[in-house]
Structure 1
Amino acid sequence: MTGEQRQPRTRGLSLWTTRRWLRTGVAVSLAVLAVLGLTGAWVLARTGTLSKDLVDVRSPALSTAIRLESAILNQETGIRGYGLTGTPGFIAPYERGLTEQRTSSARLAELLADDRSALDDLKAVQESTARWQRRIARPVAAAKPGAPSPLAAERAAEGKAAFDRVRANLNRQQERLRADRLRARDDLMSTMTLRNWVFGAIGLVILFLTAVVFEGLRRGINRPLERLGADARTVAGGDFDHPISPTGPADLRRLSGEIDSMRRRLVRELAFTEEARVRLDAQAADLQRSNAELEQFAYVASHDLQEPLRKVSSFTQLLQRRYGGQLDERADQYIDFAVDGANRMQTLINDLLDFSRVGRLHNAHQSVDLDKVLEQTLSALSVGIEESGATITHDPLPSLVADPTQMGMLWQNLIGNAVKFRRPGEPPKIHVTAGREGDLWRFTVTDNGIGIEPEYADKVFVIFQRLHTKDAYSGSGIGLAMCKKIVEFHGGTIAVDQTHRGGARIVFTLTPEPPENSGSFTVPEAALPGTEQAR
């Protein structure tokens, strides 16, 4: 066979998958085992047949033929003694011999029913014996006892010749039966030898197939998988440039190729991720500097605005007290505008300062009993609650690990809003609920006030976002934005329940324990300009 003829065959075998190799190997093994099994079954059946023929036919036939000979000899002995002496005692062996002859002949005929030659021998024995009995035995046995039989003496020579023929037929029968038994024994021994060789060959073939299957699995599956595992462990250890070498059957080579493709993609992703990480670190550093500058600016601006604003507020109030009513009505109105603007500016700056401190200065997490915090909040808001006639109820509230100051600011803003945004002429009714929801606590604050339209459900949490004029409802527009910042700082979320009607319902969640990343980037207070002045 030329190389050009071998190459397509080799290439064809290289396309075989593990399943095809296994199916082919199993099919060949089963075919070989089936042939050996059929051969072994035939040998066993042949051994059983020969053994049964030897034990159940040949040996019993020879033994029966010997008994038949003994029965005929007993007849001859009894007739000869009776013919010579006339003694009746010699008749008994003759009669027993007749009975045994009939029994043995019937048994031989049964055993040798399938052997034509043996039946011919039996027939010859029976015919010669019957001729001797007719000419000699029965006439002598019929003679009167007490005296020798004259017939025995007359036919002595004829009787001897007739019985010699009987003896010859018996010997020929027994020789044939011995030869048949010996031949059956030889056949049995040969078949048993063949059986031993066949089963020995079956054992050797099974061992050979086992070794071939084991070696095939080792070379075709185990070794490629071990190599693939070693390459994968090398890649997993950090050497992402290590190639995955395809070996083994076609499906294992495809698997190796897919893993190597995944490795190459992982290398590209890691390169891209590393590049993105570098850019992200740079952006994070820029954002950190920007946040620090913004916090510094907000903190400094809030503190630095306090001093000139206090002067403006103090002098406008002094102007109002001293010259109120002494100028014209328009001047009094201008003074009132100035005082009101200064006061609102003061409130706005304080609220902005509180908003900037959430998560930066107030970050002392400890176990907080929300029931007690809510009671303290209601006490602080008692004047507004009493003036509005508000009714405030609440479910039992849990204890959480949180910042107590921020929790107080949260309740104060939510309860304060519920009291402030009430319907005209209708006293506020406020109810607070708390319930466990998975790993979080879910709270609701429900009132019967003016409510929040669905289109404004997200806007109300934006800082300085107001839905009403300051003349209708006072405030700086920071309250719900501060609530959102506090809740998110404690790992929760806050939203308006848009399905609620007849008022507003604020829903928020809190974690029982503070999240790990709850500490946002902060600027130490001592590092900010104006800190000592603010204190």
Structure 2
Amino acid sequence: MKLKISTKLFAGFVAISVLFAGVVAINYQLSRAVLRNSQRVERSTRITGEATTLLRNIIDMETGFRGYLLIGNETVLDPYYAGERNLLGRFTELRNDLSLGTPQYERMVRAQQLFQQWAAYSHLLISEKREALRRNPNQIGLNDLEHRNLTTDLTGKKLMDQIRVLFAAFEKVEAEIRIKQRIKLRDSIRETRILSVSITLATIFLGLLYASYLVRQLSRRIGGMVSQAQRIAAGNYTAQVRDQEQDELTELADSLNTMTDTINANIQQLEKRNQELDQFAYVVSHDLKAPLRGIETASRWIEEDMGQDLPEHIREFLQLMRTRVRRMESLITGILDLARVGRTPQADEPVFVRQLLREIIDSLELPAGFEVELPFYLPTLHTNRVQLQQVFTNLISNALKYHHQPEHGTVRIGCVEGPQFYTFSVTDNGPGIAPEYHERIFVIFQTLTERDTLESTGVGLAIVKKIVERQGGTIRVESAEGQGATFIFTWPKERVRRAEA
């Protein structure tokens, strides 16, 4: 069973989340190790500070004790009694910070025992010193002290030296412990950094690897669908996308394939109907024009057979009949031309617009006095020559046909280049067109004059509008009654590609 895209994305998200959760857990454990080592260093530093303070208090007691023995002033005993009050508690606190049974613990026990011996020794001598001063206020030094021999054999000094040795050893061991703990702390920090960075990079790499896999898979499949859409836009309605993943994009590909099949079937049906319509139009045109020609021929035969005996009003009726027949033929031809606009494939070619306009002017056989003015600049286009010729021919011929004074008529051609389009204008000095008719004139069969007054099928401007719009341009008229008319249309610099229908 193949996984859907949503399942793959969710699985990738879960996997990355698990990896990051693992990174957090590992970092937490490593940080605990760093914290433990840091606490051990801090604890050793604190123990060393307490031991140093304790030793300083003992030395202060020794100094006060010696001073009292020498001068007999009770004031110098203040540090002695202050130290005595604090030291027993300090020894207890220090031992509580040490692990029971360790060499450091044993050293503090031994140091406390020696201190107690020294305290007993010092208390004895202080008591004897007070008693001697009470008996003899002028007593000096150790004179008259019962146990003065304890000082001469250096009992107190030996006890203090042993205490100093124990504290020196204690501080040395603690210093070594701190060095080891700092090394462990440094190693744990380095290990934390290395593992954190490595695991994080590994997680990012795996996430990017999985993301690139999904992106590659999706881009490949979506690219296939985009290519199919481009082929459809280019007119290839048989393109298909093969997708076997059985997920959401497979459903999209199937829908796109179904749409392609539907478009292809509709196009084929449309082409078939267009062929039938072309055939029908040809048959209708042929079948309609044949009797019209017969009517025109019969009217001429009647006119020829009757000769001078034909009444004048009958002759006028026959002439009117032939005029209506020719109008009907022109109307049929115009309808066929309008239906065929864009239906017949025609190749683009370079078109020099100035030369094209001169050919159109020459072909129209303009009456004397009617002038067509061309601008200084006219471009060369790569476009459909026949259709551009139809547009200019219709517009110029209409300006001539509907002019109220052809012998004084003027048509000015204009051209303005834009970013994507050329804007052409055809301006005449004819009778003009009222604003309410500006849209009507582009509708098939709509004319502004009576057909009996001026022969017109009403198809020409409809053909022009259809040609211009199929090229991707627009056409409009600017005019007012009695002020001439300007037809403005845009023509693309590059032809808009579209399926011929």
The answer, yes or no, to whether TM exceeds 0.5 is yes
Partners of 2:490 and 2:166 lie apart in 1 by 108
CA change 1:384–1:47 in 2 (3 A) is: farther
1:411 matched to 2:392: yes
Instruction: Give per-residue Cα distances to partners, 1:251-277, cap 9 Å, x unaligned.
Output: xxxxxxxxx4x3364155246325514
Return the offset for 1:398: 1.5
CA change 1:475–1:394 in 2 (3 A) is: farther
1:451 matched to 2:433: yes
1:240 matched to 2:243: yes
Superposed, which structure 2 residues align to 1:503-522 within 5 Å?
A: 504-517=485-498, 520=500
1:340 matched to 2:327: no
CA change 1:234–1:49 in 2 (3 A) is: same
Query: Does the Cα contact within 8 Å between 2:34 and 2:185 map onto a contact in 1?
Result: no
Instruction: Give per-residue Cα distances to partners, 1:124-153, cap 9 Å, x unaligned.
Output: 45566779xxxxxxxxxxxxxxxxxxxxxx
Aligned length: 399
Superposed, which structure 2 residues align to 1:212-227 within 5 Å?
A: none
CA change 1:395–1:40 in 2 (3 A) is: farther
Percent identity (aligned): 18
1:492 matched to 2:492: no
Query: Does the Cα contact within 8 Å between 1:447 and 1:503 map onto a contact in 2?
Result: yes
Superposed, which structure 2 residues align to 1:344-355 within 5 Å?
A: 344-345=327-328, 347-348=330-331
Partners of 1:484 and 1:227 lie apart in 2 by 53
TM-score when scaled to structure 1? 0.57
Superposed, which structure 2 residues align to 1:42-441 within 5 Å?
A: 42-45=39-42, 115-125=56-66, 165=152, 171-204=158-191, 232=218, 240-243=243-246, 260=247, 262-263=248-249, 265-266=251-252, 269-270=255-256, 272-277=258-263, 279-294=265-280, 296-297=282-283, 305=290, 326-345=309-328, 347-348=330-331, 363=346, 365-381=348-364, 383-384=366-367, 386=369, 392=373, 394=375, 396-422=377-403, 430-441=411-422
Partners of 2:252 and 2:480 lie apart in 1 by 50
CA RMSD across the alignment: 5.1
Which amino acid is 2:245 matched to? H
Return the offset for 1:184: 0.6
**For 2:359, what is the secondary structure of its paired residue?**
helix
- Determine which structure has more spread, i.e. the larger CA radius of gyration: 1
Query: Does the Cα contact within 8 Å between 2:352 and 2:379 map onto a contact in 1?
Result: yes
TM-score when scaled to structure 2? 0.60
Return the offset for 1:313: 5.1
Partners of 2:437 and 2:358 lie apart in 1 by 33
**For 2:489, what is the secondary structure of its paired residue?**
strand
Partners of 2:45 and 2:205 lie apart in 1 by 42
Partners of 1:492 and 1:234 lie apart in 2 by 34
Return the offset for 1:446: 3.9
Structure 1: where are the runs of 5+ without partners?
Answer: 1-13, 59-111, 132-157, 244-259, 522-535
**For 1:383, what is the secondary structure of its paired residue?**
coil
Structure 2: where are the runs of 5+ without partners?
Answer: 1-10, 73-144, 225-240
Instruction: Give per-residue Cα distances to partners, 1:189-222, cap 9 Å, x unaligned.
Output: 1233233344445555666666766777788x57
Partners of 1:362 and 1:195 lie apart in 2 by 89
- What's the counterpart of residue 228 of structure 2? none
Return the offset for 1:395: 6.4
Query: Does the Cα contact within 8 Å between 1:368 and 1:399 map onto a contact in 2?
Result: yes
Partners of 1:230 and 1:406 lie apart in 2 by 48
Query: Does the Cα contact within 8 Å between 1:125 and 1:169 map onto a contact in 2?
Result: no
